[in-house]
Amino acid sequence: MAESNAAIQSAAIIGAGTMGRGIAYLFAQKGIRTVLYNRNGNTLNQAREYIAQDLNKKVEQGKIALQDKGAVLANLVFTSVFETIADSDLVIETIAEQEQTKLEVLAAIAAAVKPDTLIATNTSSLSLNKLATAVTHSERFIGLHFFNPAPLMKLIEIIPAYFTARATTERCRQLVAALGKRDVVCQATPGFIVNRMARPYYLEGFRLLEEHVARAPQIDRALKAGGHFRMGPLELTDFIGQDINYQVSRQIWQDMQYDPRYTPGHLQRSLVDAGLLGKKNGRSYFAAEENALPVTAATDADVETLRVYGEHPFFTLLQQRAALQWPRLRVEQRPALPGLGPAVQINEAFTVSVTDGRTASQLAELTAADAFVVDVALNYADTAYLVAAHNRHASAANKALFLRLLHTAIPQVEFIKDSPALIVARVLSSLINESVIMVESGVCSREDINVAAVAGVNYADGIFGLLDSLGEKNVRTTLSNLAQLLHAARYAPHYTLLHAAQPALTTTP
Protein backbone atom coordinates (compact mmCIF):
# COMPACT_ATOMS: atom_id res chain seq x y z
CA MET A 1 0.00 0.00 0.00
CA ALA A 2 1.39 3.39 -0.95
CA GLU A 3 1.79 5.56 2.12
CA SER A 4 -0.49 8.55 2.14
CA ASN A 5 -1.31 11.27 4.65
CA ALA A 6 -4.30 12.51 2.66
CA ALA A 7 -7.33 13.54 4.69
CA ILE A 8 -10.30 11.19 4.85
CA GLN A 9 -12.87 12.57 2.41
CA SER A 10 -15.30 9.65 2.34
CA ALA A 11 -16.15 6.83 4.72
CA ALA A 12 -18.39 3.79 4.98
CA ILE A 13 -19.79 2.36 8.19
CA ILE A 14 -20.78 -1.31 8.26
CA GLY A 15 -23.66 -1.85 10.66
CA ALA A 16 -26.46 0.62 11.42
CA GLY A 17 -26.96 -0.25 15.09
CA THR A 18 -26.40 2.20 17.94
CA MET A 19 -22.66 2.55 17.38
CA GLY A 20 -22.74 2.47 13.59
CA ARG A 21 -25.42 5.13 13.20
CA GLY A 22 -23.67 7.30 15.81
CA ILE A 23 -20.34 7.15 13.98
CA ALA A 24 -21.99 7.83 10.62
CA TYR A 25 -23.86 10.78 12.12
CA LEU A 26 -20.63 12.18 13.57
CA PHE A 27 -18.79 11.88 10.24
CA ALA A 28 -21.62 13.53 8.31
CA GLN A 29 -21.73 16.42 10.79
CA LYS A 30 -18.02 16.99 10.14
CA GLY A 31 -18.50 17.19 6.37
CA ILE A 32 -17.34 13.67 5.48
CA ARG A 33 -19.37 11.90 2.81
CA THR A 34 -20.56 8.75 4.57
CA VAL A 35 -22.20 5.50 3.48
CA LEU A 36 -24.13 3.69 6.23
CA TYR A 37 -24.57 0.06 5.20
CA ASN A 38 -26.81 -2.50 6.84
CA ARG A 39 -28.18 -5.73 5.38
CA ASN A 40 -31.41 -5.35 7.36
CA GLY A 41 -33.58 -2.61 5.87
CA ASN A 42 -35.59 -2.09 9.08
CA THR A 43 -32.43 -1.33 11.06
CA LEU A 44 -31.35 1.05 8.32
CA ASN A 45 -34.68 2.87 8.41
CA GLN A 46 -34.48 3.17 12.21
CA ALA A 47 -31.04 4.73 11.88
CA ARG A 48 -32.29 7.19 9.25
CA GLU A 49 -35.26 8.14 11.43
CA TYR A 50 -33.07 8.53 14.53
CA ILE A 51 -30.67 10.92 12.78
CA ALA A 52 -33.49 12.92 11.17
CA GLN A 53 -35.32 13.30 14.49
CA ASP A 54 -32.17 14.42 16.26
CA LEU A 55 -31.47 17.00 13.55
CA ASN A 56 -35.07 18.26 13.78
CA LYS A 57 -34.70 18.63 17.53
CA LYS A 58 -31.50 20.65 17.08
CA VAL A 59 -33.24 22.93 14.57
CA GLU A 60 -36.19 23.44 16.94
CA GLN A 61 -33.80 24.25 19.80
CA GLY A 62 -31.90 26.73 17.65
CA LYS A 63 -28.67 24.78 17.89
CA ILE A 64 -28.33 24.48 14.11
CA ALA A 65 -29.86 26.22 11.09
CA LEU A 66 -32.20 24.43 8.66
CA GLN A 67 -29.51 24.48 5.97
CA ASP A 68 -27.11 22.74 8.36
CA LYS A 69 -29.59 19.89 8.71
CA GLY A 70 -29.74 19.64 4.93
CA ALA A 71 -25.95 19.58 4.67
CA VAL A 72 -25.66 16.72 7.18
CA LEU A 73 -28.31 14.65 5.42
CA ALA A 74 -26.65 15.36 2.05
CA ASN A 75 -23.47 13.75 3.41
CA LEU A 76 -25.29 10.50 4.27
CA VAL A 77 -26.14 7.54 2.05
CA PHE A 78 -28.25 4.78 3.63
CA THR A 79 -27.89 1.55 1.73
CA SER A 80 -28.29 -2.23 1.85
CA VAL A 81 -26.13 -2.64 -1.26
CA PHE A 82 -22.68 -3.72 -0.06
CA GLU A 83 -20.85 -2.63 -3.22
CA THR A 84 -21.69 1.01 -2.41
CA ILE A 85 -18.70 1.07 -0.05
CA ALA A 86 -16.19 0.46 -2.86
CA ASP A 87 -14.85 4.01 -3.33
CA SER A 88 -14.54 4.94 0.36
CA ASP A 89 -11.27 6.22 1.82
CA LEU A 90 -12.09 4.52 5.14
CA VAL A 91 -14.42 1.65 6.08
CA ILE A 92 -15.30 0.91 9.73
CA GLU A 93 -17.12 -2.26 10.76
CA THR A 94 -19.34 -1.90 13.85
CA ILE A 95 -21.18 -5.23 13.92
CA ALA A 96 -21.77 -7.39 17.01
CA GLU A 97 -18.80 -8.66 19.05
CA GLN A 98 -18.65 -12.09 17.41
CA GLU A 99 -15.18 -12.96 16.19
CA GLN A 100 -16.02 -15.28 13.31
CA THR A 101 -18.66 -12.93 11.91
CA LYS A 102 -16.24 -9.99 12.11
CA LEU A 103 -13.56 -12.01 10.30
CA GLU A 104 -15.99 -12.77 7.48
CA VAL A 105 -17.18 -9.16 7.19
CA LEU A 106 -13.64 -7.75 7.24
CA ALA A 107 -12.58 -10.16 4.48
CA ALA A 108 -15.57 -9.03 2.40
CA ILE A 109 -14.69 -5.37 2.97
CA ALA A 110 -11.07 -5.95 1.90
CA ALA A 111 -12.28 -7.65 -1.30
CA ALA A 112 -14.72 -4.84 -2.15
CA VAL A 113 -12.59 -1.70 -1.63
CA LYS A 114 -9.48 -0.17 -3.15
CA PRO A 115 -6.06 -1.56 -2.06
CA ASP A 116 -5.26 1.70 -0.26
CA THR A 117 -8.59 2.06 1.56
CA LEU A 118 -8.15 2.12 5.33
CA ILE A 119 -10.10 -0.64 7.08
CA ALA A 120 -10.96 -0.31 10.77
CA THR A 121 -12.85 -2.25 13.42
CA ASN A 122 -14.76 -0.72 16.29
CA THR A 123 -14.34 -3.82 18.45
CA SER A 124 -14.13 -3.13 22.16
CA SER A 125 -12.54 -6.38 23.27
CA LEU A 126 -11.60 -8.78 20.46
CA SER A 127 -8.02 -9.41 19.33
CA LEU A 128 -6.91 -6.87 16.71
CA ASN A 129 -4.14 -9.16 15.54
CA LYS A 130 -6.57 -12.02 14.96
CA LEU A 131 -9.01 -9.76 13.09
CA ALA A 132 -6.13 -8.43 10.96
CA THR A 133 -5.64 -11.88 9.45
CA ALA A 134 -8.86 -11.39 7.46
CA VAL A 135 -7.62 -8.23 5.72
CA THR A 136 -5.41 -8.27 2.64
CA HIS A 137 -2.74 -5.56 2.76
CA SER A 138 -2.97 -5.72 6.55
CA GLU A 139 -0.80 -2.60 6.90
CA ARG A 140 -4.00 -0.60 6.29
CA PHE A 141 -5.95 -2.30 9.09
CA ILE A 142 -6.41 -0.66 12.50
CA GLY A 143 -8.72 -0.44 15.49
CA LEU A 144 -10.80 2.72 15.90
CA HIS A 145 -12.76 2.32 19.11
CA PHE A 146 -15.53 4.91 19.47
CA PHE A 147 -17.63 5.32 22.60
CA ASN A 148 -21.39 5.64 22.85
CA PRO A 149 -22.86 8.09 21.96
CA ALA A 150 -20.21 8.69 19.30
CA PRO A 151 -21.20 12.30 18.43
CA LEU A 152 -20.88 13.36 22.09
CA MET A 153 -18.07 11.29 23.59
CA LYS A 154 -14.72 13.04 23.46
CA LEU A 155 -12.36 10.09 23.08
CA ILE A 156 -11.45 7.64 20.31
CA GLU A 157 -8.97 4.84 20.96
CA ILE A 158 -6.54 4.05 18.13
CA ILE A 159 -5.17 0.51 18.23
CA PRO A 160 -2.56 -0.54 15.64
CA ALA A 161 -2.15 -4.28 15.05
CA TYR A 162 1.28 -5.85 14.52
CA PHE A 163 1.36 -5.07 10.79
CA THR A 164 -0.40 -1.70 10.82
CA ALA A 165 1.67 0.90 8.98
CA ARG A 166 2.75 4.00 10.87
CA ALA A 167 1.15 6.08 8.12
CA THR A 168 -2.18 4.37 8.83
CA THR A 169 -1.96 5.30 12.50
CA GLU A 170 -1.03 8.88 11.63
CA ARG A 171 -3.93 9.28 9.18
CA CYS A 172 -6.30 8.05 11.88
CA ARG A 173 -4.89 10.55 14.38
CA GLN A 174 -5.46 13.32 11.83
CA LEU A 175 -9.02 12.04 11.34
CA VAL A 176 -9.70 12.09 15.09
CA ALA A 177 -8.47 15.67 15.26
CA ALA A 178 -10.67 16.63 12.31
CA LEU A 179 -13.64 15.09 14.14
CA GLY A 180 -12.91 17.34 17.12
CA LYS A 181 -12.06 14.41 19.40
CA ARG A 182 -9.07 13.35 21.48
CA ASP A 183 -7.13 10.19 20.74
CA VAL A 184 -5.08 7.73 22.71
CA VAL A 185 -2.89 5.13 21.01
CA CYS A 186 -2.37 1.78 22.68
CA GLN A 187 -1.10 -1.70 22.02
CA ALA A 188 -3.49 -4.32 20.72
CA THR A 189 -4.01 -5.83 24.17
CA PRO A 190 -7.20 -7.09 25.88
CA GLY A 191 -9.62 -4.27 26.62
CA PHE A 192 -7.29 -1.64 25.09
CA ILE A 193 -7.02 1.32 27.50
CA VAL A 194 -10.48 2.38 28.66
CA ASN A 195 -12.15 -1.00 29.13
CA ARG A 196 -9.17 -2.47 30.94
CA MET A 197 -8.31 0.61 33.00
CA ALA A 198 -11.93 0.99 34.15
CA ARG A 199 -12.53 -2.72 34.78
CA PRO A 200 -11.83 -2.54 38.55
CA TYR A 201 -14.57 0.09 38.90
CA TYR A 202 -17.25 -2.36 37.80
CA LEU A 203 -15.70 -5.51 39.25
CA GLU A 204 -15.11 -4.05 42.71
CA GLY A 205 -18.63 -2.61 42.76
CA PHE A 206 -20.08 -6.09 42.34
CA ARG A 207 -17.57 -7.65 44.73
CA LEU A 208 -18.59 -5.20 47.44
CA LEU A 209 -22.20 -6.19 46.85
CA GLU A 210 -21.45 -9.92 46.78
CA GLU A 211 -19.48 -9.64 50.04
CA HIS A 212 -22.42 -7.83 51.68
CA VAL A 213 -20.17 -4.90 52.50
CA ALA A 214 -22.94 -2.43 51.62
CA ARG A 215 -26.14 -2.07 49.64
CA ALA A 216 -26.08 -0.94 46.01
CA PRO A 217 -27.20 2.68 46.72
CA GLN A 218 -24.52 3.00 49.41
CA ILE A 219 -21.80 1.78 47.07
CA ASP A 220 -22.86 4.12 44.27
CA ARG A 221 -23.40 7.11 46.55
CA ALA A 222 -20.07 6.67 48.35
CA LEU A 223 -18.12 6.65 45.09
CA LYS A 224 -19.96 9.67 43.71
CA ALA A 225 -19.53 11.67 46.92
CA GLY A 226 -16.03 10.62 47.90
CA GLY A 227 -14.50 9.68 44.54
CA HIS A 228 -16.14 12.39 42.39
CA PHE A 229 -17.55 9.85 39.91
CA ARG A 230 -20.59 10.95 37.91
CA MET A 231 -22.28 7.56 38.25
CA GLY A 232 -21.68 4.72 40.68
CA PRO A 233 -20.50 1.38 39.26
CA LEU A 234 -23.79 -0.45 39.76
CA GLU A 235 -26.04 2.20 38.27
CA LEU A 236 -23.52 2.59 35.46
CA THR A 237 -23.64 -1.10 34.55
CA ASP A 238 -27.44 -0.78 34.46
CA PHE A 239 -27.02 2.16 32.08
CA ILE A 240 -24.51 0.33 29.84
CA GLY A 241 -26.44 -2.96 29.93
CA GLN A 242 -25.50 -5.79 32.28
CA ASP A 243 -25.05 -8.18 29.35
CA ILE A 244 -22.65 -5.87 27.52
CA ASN A 245 -20.65 -5.01 30.63
CA TYR A 246 -20.41 -8.66 31.68
CA GLN A 247 -19.41 -9.78 28.18
CA VAL A 248 -16.52 -7.29 28.09
CA SER A 249 -15.39 -8.32 31.59
CA ARG A 250 -15.51 -11.99 30.66
CA GLN A 251 -13.64 -11.41 27.37
CA ILE A 252 -10.84 -9.51 29.12
CA TRP A 253 -10.65 -12.18 31.85
CA GLN A 254 -10.27 -14.92 29.23
CA ASP A 255 -7.75 -12.96 27.17
CA MET A 256 -5.69 -12.21 30.30
CA GLN A 257 -5.34 -15.94 30.95
CA TYR A 258 -7.92 -15.92 33.75
CA ASP A 259 -5.90 -13.57 35.93
CA PRO A 260 -7.93 -13.21 39.20
CA ARG A 261 -7.78 -9.41 38.94
CA TYR A 262 -10.31 -9.62 36.10
CA THR A 263 -12.61 -12.40 37.35
CA PRO A 264 -16.22 -11.27 36.73
CA GLY A 265 -18.74 -11.58 39.53
CA HIS A 266 -21.24 -14.40 39.78
CA LEU A 267 -23.95 -11.88 40.71
CA GLN A 268 -23.64 -10.00 37.43
CA ARG A 269 -23.71 -13.30 35.53
CA SER A 270 -26.95 -14.20 37.33
CA LEU A 271 -28.48 -10.83 36.36
CA VAL A 272 -27.71 -11.53 32.71
CA ASP A 273 -29.15 -15.03 32.98
CA ALA A 274 -32.33 -13.62 34.55
CA GLY A 275 -32.71 -10.92 31.89
CA LEU A 276 -32.23 -8.09 34.40
CA LEU A 277 -30.22 -6.05 31.93
CA GLY A 278 -30.98 -2.54 33.22
CA LYS A 279 -32.09 0.46 31.23
CA LYS A 280 -32.01 -1.26 27.83
CA ASN A 281 -34.94 -3.56 28.68
CA GLY A 282 -36.37 -1.72 31.69
CA ARG A 283 -35.57 -4.53 34.12
CA SER A 284 -33.13 -3.74 36.91
CA TYR A 285 -32.03 -5.73 39.93
CA PHE A 286 -31.32 -2.42 41.64
CA ALA A 287 -34.52 -0.58 40.74
CA ALA A 288 -36.36 -1.50 43.95
CA GLU A 289 -33.53 -0.28 46.19
CA GLU A 290 -34.30 2.90 48.07
CA ASN A 291 -31.93 5.35 49.67
CA ALA A 292 -31.67 4.87 53.40
CA LEU A 293 -32.89 7.61 55.71
CA PRO A 294 -30.13 9.73 57.26
CA VAL A 295 -28.73 8.25 60.45
CA THR A 296 -28.96 10.60 63.41
CA ALA A 297 -26.90 10.51 66.56
CA ALA A 298 -29.25 9.81 69.49
CA THR A 299 -27.09 11.27 72.26
CA ASP A 300 -26.67 14.45 74.22
CA ALA A 301 -23.09 13.67 75.09
CA ASP A 302 -20.42 16.22 74.18
CA VAL A 303 -16.96 15.78 72.74
CA GLU A 304 -14.76 17.10 75.50
CA THR A 305 -11.27 16.12 74.33
CA LEU A 306 -9.88 15.54 70.86
CA ARG A 307 -6.44 13.99 70.82
CA VAL A 308 -5.05 14.19 67.29
CA TYR A 309 -2.26 11.76 66.42
CA GLY A 310 -0.32 12.71 63.30
CA GLU A 311 -1.76 14.72 60.41
CA HIS A 312 -4.57 14.12 57.97
CA PRO A 313 -6.84 16.57 56.06
CA PHE A 314 -9.95 14.94 57.47
CA PHE A 315 -8.81 15.34 61.05
CA THR A 316 -7.98 19.01 60.42
CA LEU A 317 -11.50 19.53 59.09
CA LEU A 318 -13.03 17.55 61.95
CA GLN A 319 -11.10 19.57 64.50
CA GLN A 320 -12.30 22.87 62.98
CA ARG A 321 -15.96 21.80 62.79
CA ALA A 322 -15.95 20.22 66.26
CA ALA A 323 -14.55 23.42 67.79
CA LEU A 324 -17.55 25.31 66.39
CA GLN A 325 -19.94 22.79 67.93
CA TRP A 326 -18.18 22.56 71.30
CA PRO A 327 -16.40 25.87 72.10
CA ARG A 328 -14.80 24.39 75.24
CA LEU A 329 -13.31 21.49 73.30
CA ARG A 330 -9.79 20.60 74.45
CA VAL A 331 -7.51 19.64 71.55
CA GLU A 332 -4.15 17.91 71.94
CA GLN A 333 -1.81 17.44 68.99
CA ARG A 334 0.53 14.44 69.22
CA PRO A 335 2.76 12.44 66.86
CA ALA A 336 1.24 9.50 65.03
CA LEU A 337 1.20 6.33 67.10
CA PRO A 338 3.48 3.53 65.89
CA GLY A 339 1.43 0.88 64.14
CA LEU A 340 -1.74 2.99 64.12
CA GLY A 341 -0.86 5.96 61.94
CA PRO A 342 -2.91 9.19 61.87
CA ALA A 343 -5.92 8.95 64.18
CA VAL A 344 -8.15 10.92 66.50
CA GLN A 345 -8.98 9.81 70.02
CA ILE A 346 -12.31 11.04 71.37
CA ASN A 347 -12.77 11.61 75.12
CA GLU A 348 -10.07 8.98 75.66
CA ALA A 349 -12.80 6.45 74.84
CA PHE A 350 -12.37 5.47 71.19
CA THR A 351 -10.28 6.21 68.11
CA VAL A 352 -11.21 7.29 64.60
CA SER A 353 -8.97 6.46 61.64
CA VAL A 354 -9.18 6.94 57.89
CA THR A 355 -9.01 3.48 56.36
CA ASP A 356 -5.65 2.14 55.28
CA GLY A 357 -7.10 -1.25 54.40
CA ARG A 358 -7.28 -2.59 57.95
CA THR A 359 -10.61 -3.21 59.62
CA ALA A 360 -11.95 -1.39 62.67
CA SER A 361 -11.77 -4.67 64.61
CA GLN A 362 -8.05 -4.95 63.85
CA LEU A 363 -7.47 -1.41 65.10
CA ALA A 364 -9.56 -2.07 68.22
CA GLU A 365 -7.25 -4.95 69.11
CA LEU A 366 -4.28 -2.66 68.61
CA THR A 367 -5.63 0.14 70.83
CA ALA A 368 -7.55 -2.01 73.33
CA ALA A 369 -10.53 0.34 72.87
CA ASP A 370 -13.40 0.84 70.46
CA ALA A 371 -12.24 1.86 66.99
CA PHE A 372 -13.97 3.46 64.01
CA VAL A 373 -12.72 3.71 60.44
CA VAL A 374 -14.02 6.15 57.83
CA ASP A 375 -13.71 5.91 54.08
CA VAL A 376 -11.45 7.98 51.86
CA ALA A 377 -12.79 11.11 50.16
CA LEU A 378 -10.91 13.23 47.65
CA ASN A 379 -12.21 16.39 49.31
CA TYR A 380 -13.82 15.94 52.71
CA ALA A 381 -14.86 19.60 52.85
CA ASP A 382 -17.37 19.14 50.02
CA THR A 383 -18.34 15.53 50.76
CA ALA A 384 -22.02 15.13 51.65
CA TYR A 385 -21.92 11.38 52.28
CA LEU A 386 -19.40 9.08 53.96
CA VAL A 387 -19.42 5.44 55.02
CA ALA A 388 -17.78 4.19 58.18
CA ALA A 389 -17.44 1.02 60.26
CA HIS A 390 -16.81 0.09 63.88
CA ASN A 391 -15.42 -2.93 65.71
CA ARG A 392 -17.88 -5.70 66.41
CA HIS A 393 -18.61 -4.92 70.07
CA ALA A 394 -18.42 -1.12 69.99
CA SER A 395 -20.68 0.41 72.62
CA ALA A 396 -23.93 2.13 71.67
CA ALA A 397 -22.76 5.28 73.45
CA ASN A 398 -19.53 5.42 71.44
CA LYS A 399 -21.35 4.81 68.17
CA ALA A 400 -23.79 7.62 68.91
CA LEU A 401 -21.02 10.04 69.89
CA PHE A 402 -19.00 9.11 66.81
CA LEU A 403 -21.97 9.95 64.58
CA ARG A 404 -22.58 13.21 66.39
CA LEU A 405 -18.94 14.20 65.89
CA LEU A 406 -18.87 13.18 62.23
CA HIS A 407 -22.06 15.11 61.49
CA THR A 408 -20.28 18.36 62.35
CA ALA A 409 -18.33 17.87 59.08
CA ILE A 410 -20.28 15.38 56.94
CA PRO A 411 -24.07 15.76 56.45
CA GLN A 412 -24.76 12.02 56.15
CA VAL A 413 -22.74 9.15 57.59
CA GLU A 414 -23.77 5.51 57.38
CA PHE A 415 -22.29 2.44 59.02
CA ILE A 416 -21.55 -0.49 56.72
CA LYS A 417 -19.87 -3.85 57.24
CA ASP A 418 -16.43 -3.66 58.85
CA SER A 419 -14.42 -4.65 55.78
CA PRO A 420 -10.95 -3.97 54.33
CA ALA A 421 -10.60 -0.49 52.75
CA LEU A 422 -14.38 0.04 52.84
CA ILE A 423 -15.62 1.38 49.43
CA VAL A 424 -13.85 4.41 47.94
CA ALA A 425 -10.33 3.56 49.10
CA ARG A 426 -10.72 0.00 47.81
CA VAL A 427 -11.98 1.05 44.37
CA LEU A 428 -9.55 3.94 43.85
CA SER A 429 -6.55 1.85 44.91
CA SER A 430 -7.60 -0.93 42.53
CA LEU A 431 -8.01 1.53 39.65
CA ILE A 432 -4.59 3.02 40.35
CA ASN A 433 -2.89 -0.36 40.60
CA GLU A 434 -4.35 -1.52 37.27
CA SER A 435 -3.23 1.68 35.55
CA VAL A 436 0.29 1.35 36.94
CA ILE A 437 0.43 -2.23 35.66
CA MET A 438 -0.72 -1.12 32.20
CA VAL A 439 1.88 1.65 31.94
CA GLU A 440 4.70 -0.54 33.26
CA SER A 441 3.82 -3.31 30.78
CA GLY A 442 3.96 -0.88 27.85
CA VAL A 443 0.26 -0.80 26.95
CA CYS A 444 0.21 3.00 26.93
CA SER A 445 1.64 6.07 28.65
CA ARG A 446 0.57 7.77 31.87
CA GLU A 447 -0.78 10.64 29.83
CA ASP A 448 -2.89 8.24 27.74
CA ILE A 449 -4.33 6.75 30.94
CA ASN A 450 -5.26 10.19 32.27
CA VAL A 451 -6.81 11.28 28.96
CA ALA A 452 -8.76 8.02 28.72
CA ALA A 453 -10.08 8.39 32.27
CA VAL A 454 -11.35 11.93 31.78
CA ALA A 455 -12.41 11.88 28.11
CA GLY A 456 -13.34 8.21 27.79
CA VAL A 457 -15.26 7.38 30.97
CA ASN A 458 -15.92 10.86 32.39
CA TYR A 459 -13.90 10.45 35.58
CA ALA A 460 -13.42 13.82 37.24
CA ASP A 461 -9.69 13.20 37.72
CA GLY A 462 -6.99 11.37 35.79
CA ILE A 463 -5.92 8.10 37.42
CA PHE A 464 -2.41 9.34 38.16
CA GLY A 465 -3.95 12.51 39.54
CA LEU A 466 -5.76 10.24 41.99
CA LEU A 467 -2.42 8.66 42.90
CA ASP A 468 -1.00 12.10 43.64
CA SER A 469 -4.06 13.04 45.71
CA LEU A 470 -4.07 9.89 47.82
CA GLY A 471 -0.31 9.54 48.08
CA GLU A 472 1.76 6.59 46.92
CA LYS A 473 2.40 5.41 50.47
CA ASN A 474 -1.32 5.34 51.30
CA VAL A 475 -2.19 3.47 48.10
CA ARG A 476 0.60 0.95 48.69
CA THR A 477 -0.50 0.33 52.29
CA THR A 478 -4.16 -0.02 51.33
CA LEU A 479 -3.39 -2.52 48.55
CA SER A 480 -1.04 -4.51 50.78
CA ASN A 481 -3.72 -4.84 53.46
CA LEU A 482 -6.35 -5.77 50.85
CA ALA A 483 -3.97 -8.43 49.53
CA GLN A 484 -3.44 -9.80 53.02
CA LEU A 485 -7.07 -9.77 54.09
CA LEU A 486 -8.99 -10.54 50.87
CA HIS A 487 -7.01 -11.89 47.89
CA ALA A 488 -3.23 -11.94 47.56
CA ALA A 489 -3.01 -12.07 43.75
CA ARG A 490 -5.90 -9.69 43.05
CA TYR A 491 -4.72 -6.77 45.18
CA ALA A 492 -0.93 -7.15 45.34
CA PRO A 493 0.56 -3.72 44.58
CA HIS A 494 2.69 -3.53 41.46
CA TYR A 495 6.35 -3.60 42.41
CA THR A 496 6.92 -0.02 41.22
CA LEU A 497 4.53 1.14 43.95
CA LEU A 498 6.85 -0.52 46.45
CA HIS A 499 9.91 1.49 45.42
CA ALA A 500 9.34 4.21 48.00
CA ALA A 501 9.29 1.57 50.74
CA GLN A 502 12.66 0.09 49.79
CA PRO A 503 15.92 1.39 51.27
CA ALA A 504 18.31 2.95 48.80
CA LEU A 505 20.90 0.55 47.47
CA THR A 506 24.48 1.52 48.25
CA THR A 507 27.74 0.20 46.89
CA THR A 508 31.11 0.15 48.53
CA PRO A 509 34.16 1.19 46.56
Q: State the Cα–Cα distance between residues 244 and 242, nearest whole angstrom.
A: 6
Q: State the Cα–Cα distance between residues 97 and 316, nearest whole angstrom.
A: 51
Q: Beta partners for 346?
A: 306, 350
Pick the catalytic residue from 145, 228, 390, 494: 145
Q: Which residues contact 426 (CB under 8 A, 6 or more apart)?
A: 204, 208, 357, 420, 478, 482
3 assigned to active site: no
Q: Are strands 343-346 and 350-354 parallel, antiparallel or unpaired?
A: antiparallel
Query: Per-residue DSSP letters for 66-134?
Result: HHHHHHHHHTEEEES-GGGGTT-SEEEE---S-HHHHHHHHHHHHHHS-TT-EEEE--SSS-HHHHHTT
Q: How far is CA 206 from CA 220, 263, 413, in A?
A: 11, 11, 22
Pick the catalytic residue from 157, 204, 434, 472: 157
Directed axis angle between helix 18-29 and helix 41-60, to 10°? 50
Pick the catalytic residue from 10, 88, 195, 481: 195
- Could you give the 3-state DSSP secondary structure of residue 24? helix
Judge if the upstream peptide bond of residue 313 is cis by omega within 30 degrees of 0: no
284 assigned to active site: no
Q: State the Cα–Cα distance between residues 364 and 120, nearest whole angstrom.
A: 57
Is residue 155 a contact partner of residue 124, using CB atoms and an 8 Å limit? no
195 assigned to active site: yes
Pick the catalytic residue from 10, 124, 245, 481: 124
Q: Where are the beta strands (DSSP E) in 313-426?
A: 330-334, 343-346, 350-354, 370-374, 385-390, 412-415
Q: State the Cα–Cα distance between residues 407 and 413, nearest whole angstrom.
A: 7
Q: State the Cα–Cα distance between residues 400 and 298, nearest whole angstrom.
A: 6
Q: State the Cα–Cα distance between residues 67 and 43, nearest whole angstrom.
A: 26
433 assigned to active site: no
Q: Where are the beta strands (DSSP E) in 302-426?
A: 305-309, 330-334, 343-346, 350-354, 370-374, 385-390, 412-415
> What are the φ and ψ backbone dihedral angles of 392, each rounded to 5 degrees?
-55, -40
Task: List active site positions.
Answer: 124, 145, 157, 195
